[in-house]
Structure 1
Amino acid sequence: MASHPRSSAFFILQLSLLPTILSLQANAAYYDISPVECGCPDQYEVTMRLYLHQFVAGPNHPNRNEEFVIASSYPNGFGTTLVNDWYLTTTPSPNGKVIARAQGIHVQAGTTDANSWYTSFNIVFQDDRFNGSTLQVMGIILAQNFGEWSIMGGTGEFTMAHGNIKFRVDTRDSTSEDAIRELEIRAVYTSITQLAFCHKHL
């Protein structure tokens, strides 16, 4: 039985669009931005999935991106302080494109737990889309393979940001040198373009 002409035309159209669809999937952005549905036309919500690479400190780790600043003789290393310049990529591979750097400190803040690290850092974006913008992050790193940090503010594109970051250790791809954390970033912020427009018309 002969195929319907319209069905054949639709099938050919699908085939012709396939390269475009595959190209869009391959170049999918690591972020998504949408307006906040709360009657606030100048606010947006951004979600991202990035991978944080912590190349641990120590003399036998030449690629380390953190360094001891204060050593401690207290039990459990209480007060030990390190400065960090971790970096974030779009994939678990440490050789992937660096989207941002997590620059700040982490301090062993537990007197009864050797793995209770208070951390405060800026995520400083360096990719083309958000270059120069920052997110201010605070939280705790515990022994568990998962956790959550708070987003306390931001600059540039992410002016007045607030939100959270849920993370988990990527046990499959992490190595003895590179502790990889998968980050799910969610933040609400005020569009700097809209903010400038509002101030101009006050």
Structure 2
Amino acid sequence: MATYSSSALFILFLLPTFLSMAASTYYDICPVECGCPDQNEVTMHLYLHQFVAGANHPNRNEEFVIASSYPNGFGTTLVDDWYLTATTNPNDNIVARVQGMHVQAGQSNANMWYTSHNIVFQDDRFKGSTLQVMGIIAASSGEWSVIGGTGEFSMAHGSIKFTTDPSSTSEDAVRELNIRAIYTADNPQAARGTASVANATRLP
């Protein structure tokens, strides 16, 4: 009868996790090791495309709602329909829409934008589920809070760390997002899988 060393058994125990990580594209899901069998943790690596507002930007996906005459544009408000892709290519398959607003909330800082958004997934794997996100854009990098979710991401909480990507242009402000959230799974038995984005919406 064959016997295995403790190190070999440990590797065999972790093999499904390694295989899942290798198979996934922009996300990975694993159970939360806290004695809560219905909770999962999802991590995602995506790129946000913000086509900035302005008359000279015909492809813009945000629009001014309130202009402001206060110093530093305090109170300026825009409504957003940004989107997320798995790559820096703005013409790649759209994984999710980032719908909400950003408001210039700093009286002494011209670049202190408060944001509130729903990330609405439209790829096949998470279609219809959402993450509710809030935070500040004040520099080329930062962090937003995940304060809720719906669908598969019911009762989500976590964070999104972002940095401005070198591929950004004056028209397309690209941010690299690293999303990490814990949520209560609608279907605790749902297996980890590979994202299917082949049928996601493309830009016209």
Matched residues, percent identical? 74
The answer for the alignment partner of 1:151 in structure 2 is: 146
**1:32 Cα shift?**
0.1
- Report how far residue 128 of structure 1 moved: 0.1
> Match of 2:199?
none
- Report the counterpart of residue 91 of structure 1 in structure 2: 87
Matched residue, 1:107 = 103
Q: Aligned AA for 2:180?
A: R
Cα distance in structure 2, aligned partners of 1:119 and 1:77: 15
Q: Deviations over 1:36-72 (max 9, x none)?
A: 0000000000000000000000000000000000000
Tell whether 2:154 aligns with 1:178: no
Structure 1 gaps of 5+ residues are 1-23, 196-202
Q: Does 1:40 align with 2:36?
A: yes
* Structure 2: distance between partners of 1:37 and 1:25: 17
Q: Which of 1 and 2 has higher RCO (CA within 8 Å, sep 6+)?
A: 2
Give the superposed CA RMSD: 1.7
Deviations 1:111-151 (A, max 9, x none): 00000000000000000000000000000000x21000000
Q: Does 1:168 align with 2:163?
A: yes
| Larger-Rg structure | 1
Partner of 2:123: 127
- Residue 192 of structure 1 aligns with an amino acid whose one-letter code is D
Does structure 1 conserve the Cα–Cα contact (< 8 Å) formed by 2:53 and 2:61? yes
| TM-score for both structures, normalised by structure 2 | 0.81
Q: How many residues align?
A: 170
Aligned position for 2:132: 136
SS of aligned partner of 1:157: helix
Q: Could you say what secondary structure the match of 1:94 adopts?
A: coil
TM-score scaled by structure 1? 0.81
Q: Which amino acid aligns with 2:147?
A: M
1:189 maps to which of 183, 189, 195: 183
Alignment CA distance shift 1:33-1:101 (3 Å): same
Give the match's secondary structure for 1:181.
strand
Report the structure, 1 or 2, having the larger helix content.
Answer: 1
Matched residue of 2:83: which SS?
strand
Assess if the C-alpha contact under 8 Å between 2:21 and 2:28 holds in 1.
no
Q: Tell me the alpha carbon deviations over residues 9-28 of structure 1, each in whole angstroms, 9 at most, x when there is no partner.
A: xxxxxxxxxxxxxxx99974
Which of the numbers 21, 25, 31 marks the counterpart of 2:27?
Answer: 31
Q: CA–CA distance in 1 between the matches of 2:53 and 2:107? A: 21
| Offset from partner CA, 1:97-117 (integer Å, 9 cap, x none) | 100000000000000000000
2:52 pairs with 1:56: yes
